Amino acid sequence: MLRRLGSSLLASHIAGRRMMSQQNLTGKVAIVTASTDGIGLAAARALGQRGAHVVVSSRRKENVEKAVALLQSERIQVTGTICNVGKSEDRERLVEMTVEQCGGVDIFISNAAVNPFFGNIMDSTEQVWDKILDVNVKAAFLMTKLVVPHMESRGGGSVVFVSSIAGYQPMPALGPYSVSKTALLGLTRALAPELASSNIRVNCVAPGVIKTRFSSAIWQNEDIVDEFKKQLCIKRLGDPQDVGGVIAFLCSEDASYITGETITVTGGMNCRL
Ligand SMILES: NC(=O)c1ccc[n+]([C@@H]2O[C@H](COP(=O)([O-])OP(=O)(O)OC[C@H]3O[C@@H](n4cnc5c(N)ncnc54)[C@H](OP(=O)(O)O)[C@@H]3O)[C@@H](O)[C@H]2O)c1
């Protein structure tokens, strides 16, 4: 009898912890850049489902309005605004608005990236490099610099950069983009030790091929998909929610001892030890 009571108490304790762990972002405020579609939207949804108030943004007003309406219909606490991460005034407005309307910032997901160039890296121009590095790397750092003081004033926080498997192994025809994604692996490692004393963890995800508009040139071509699938253990391309859940995990208490780390989300693409 006593043993049965003991094991049922243990079971309810574990179930309680599991529920808490699933809801453990209640009261947190999360900024996710480029979050009106694809991986950013999936990250916002995953954070919101775990109780965070999410701030979504992208360049186009109609996309922001659509994403806000969608997440609201899923009972997620959400605020939206326009933000092109390549513009300093937009970055500042996003952070100011978040602090004013939501009371602070606890979580920052740097997801925005562009790729204006396909081809041999030796044919890429200075203009291409400026655009790619400005949006994919500099803006990721400058946004982090803006949010960190607000995280510090709340006792800590969590930053996640969205890199790519191309950051480990440059993809054919995507040289400059791949290099920008390698830089994010370095940025993660450079920031983590410096921000640990402020109780801010800095991590990164490196997705493989995920079915979004950004990667449509890959997944709309059956020959390329077949070639990619040969490299995968899980024989399907990824969905945005495959990445969103990992991002939410990295921001949760379950990941409280993880910093400076990159998690690949690739279906087992055989690319690193
Ligand atoms: N899909 C993949 O296979 C894959 C693989 C590895 C890594 N990634 C990375 O995942 C991230 C998201 O890609 P995705 O595939 O989810 O793309 P996506 O589905 O095409 O969505 C892109 C989002 O970014 C917004 N956006 C584009 N440029 C922006 C800018 N300058 N400032 C702010 N928002 C901007 C878009 O909205 P607006 O048009 O309204 O701005 C949209 O909400 C990127 O960092 C990408 O490099 C993707």
At 10 the pLDDT is 47
Percentage of the chain exceeding pLDDT 90: 89
At 2 the pLDDT is 44
Percentage of the chain exceeding pLDDT 70: 90
pLDDT of 214 over the 50 cut: yes
In a domain, 1, yes or no: no
Residue 151 Cα, ligand 1 centroid: separation in angstroms?
A: 25
**Residues with a known catalytic role:** 177
User: Which H or E run contains 32?
Assistant: strand 29-32
Residue 115 Cα, ligand 1 centroid: separation in angstroms?
A: 10
Q: Give the nearest ligand 1 atom to 210 CA.
A: 3
Nearest to 45 by CA among 74, 69, 66, 18: 74
User: Which DSSP letter does residue 133 get?
Assistant: H
At 63 the pLDDT is 98
In a domain, 82, yes or no: yes
How far apart CA 243 and CA 117 sit, in angstroms, is: 25
- Residue 34 sits in a domain whose CATH number is 3.40.50.720
At 6 the pLDDT is 52
Q: Which of 33, 37, 228 to mutate to test the pocket of ligand 1 (most atoms within 8 A of CB)?
A: 37
Domain count, the chain: 1
Nearest to 134 by CA among 106, 160, 114, 162: 114
Contacts (Cβ under 8 Å, ≥6 apart) of 168:
182, 185, 206, 264, 271, 272
At 215 the pLDDT is 95
Order of strands, edge to edge, in the sheet holding 157-162? 78-82, 53-58, 29-32, 107-110, 157-162, 200-207, 262-265
3, with CB counted inside 10 A (0-12, 13-18, 19+), is exposed
Q: Where are the alpha helices (DSSP H) in the chain?
A: 2-22, 38-49, 61-73, 88-102, 126-133, 139-153, 175-196, 216-219, 222-230, 240-251
In a domain, 216, yes or no: no
Reported as a single tens digit per residue, the pLDDT across 107-132 is: 999 999 999 999 999 999 999 999 99
At 22 the pLDDT is 55
Q: Which residues line ligand 1 (CB under 6 A)?
A: 33-34, 36-40, 58-60, 63, 83-86, 111-114, 135, 162, 164, 207, 209-210, 212-215
In a domain, 6, yes or no: no
At 13 the pLDDT is 47
Q: Whose CA is nearest to atom 26 of ligand 1?
A: 34
Q: 24-28, 111-115, 269-273: which has the minimum mean pLDDT? A: 269-273
Q: Which of 31, 32, 39, 174 to mutate to test the pocket of ligand 1 (most atoms within 8 A of CB)?
A: 39
SS3 30: strand
Reported as a single tens digit per residue, the pLDDT across 42-86 is: 999 999 999 999 999 999 999 999 999 999 999 999 999 999 999
At 4 the pLDDT is 53
Reported as a single tens digit per residue, the pLDDT across 34-50 is: 999 999 999 999 999 99
How far apart CA 269 and CA 273 sit, in angstroms, is: 11
In a domain, 156, yes or no: yes
Q: Give the nearest ligand 1 atom to 166 CA.
A: 6
At 110 the pLDDT is 99
Reported as a single tens digit per residue, the pLDDT across 178-209 is: 999 999 999 999 999 999 999 999 999 999 99
At 273 the pLDDT is 59
Query: What's the chain's average pLDDT?
Result: 93
In a domain, 15, yes or no: no
pLDDT, average across residues 195-224: 96
Q: Which of 135, 143, 214 to mutate to test the pocket of ligand 1 (most atoms within 8 A of CB)?
A: 214
Q: Whose CA is nearest to atom 24 of ligand 1?
A: 34
Residue span of the structural domain in which 140 resides: 25-210+240-265
pLDDT, average across residues 125-140: 98
Residue 238 Cα, ligand 1 centroid: separation in angstroms?
A: 15
Over the range 34-73, which residues count as b (16 or more CB within 10 Å of their CB) and which as e? bbbbbbbbbbbbbbbbbebbbbbbbbeeebbeebbebbee
